[in-house]
Amino acid sequence: MVLPGNEYRSDLPKLEKQEKPVGYHAGLQIEERLQGLGAVLLGIIGLTVSWLVFTGALPIGLPPPPPPPGVLVQVPVMNPTTCIAPLMGLGGISLVVVGLRRTIDP
């Protein structure tokens, strides 16, 4: 059967019907959108915790040891949390971006 308007290309072979992509299903895809919202929520929680650590509202570990006698300047002490907090912030931003993408276009 030739559809109206397609008869001028009857010399070409008919194309097979294309299959839908793997994992595609029609509908609103509520499950995928809820997963995206969950990722956004986890990202916001991570960003909030990271911000609270940077502002000093949350403790960031053990206090530094007391300075030796006679030293007036506090010696800087590295704390593992000062290394993890920026990574947690970057991870939170990534989760928000991925979650928004999954929510808008599952």
- Residues 12-47: tens digit of each pLDDT: 777 777 788 777 777 788 888 999 999 999 999 999
In this structure, is residue 40 part of a structural domain?
Answer: no
In this structure, is residue 21 part of a structural domain?
Answer: no
Quote the percentage of the chain above a pLDDT of 90.
Answer: 34
The mean pLDDT value for 45-69 works out to 84
In this structure, is residue 82 part of a structural domain?
Answer: yes
Domain count, the chain: 1
In this structure, is residue 94 part of a structural domain?
Answer: yes
Name, in order, each residue with C-beta under 8 angstroms of 92's C-beta and a sequence gap of 6 or more: 42, 43, 44, 45, 46, 47, 50
In this structure, is residue 54 part of a structural domain?
Answer: yes
Q: Is residue 89 pLDDT above 80, yes or no?
A: yes
What does pTM read for this prediction?
0.65
Quote the domain boundaries for residue 102: 47-59+78-106
Q: Provide the 8-state DSSP code for 3.
A: -
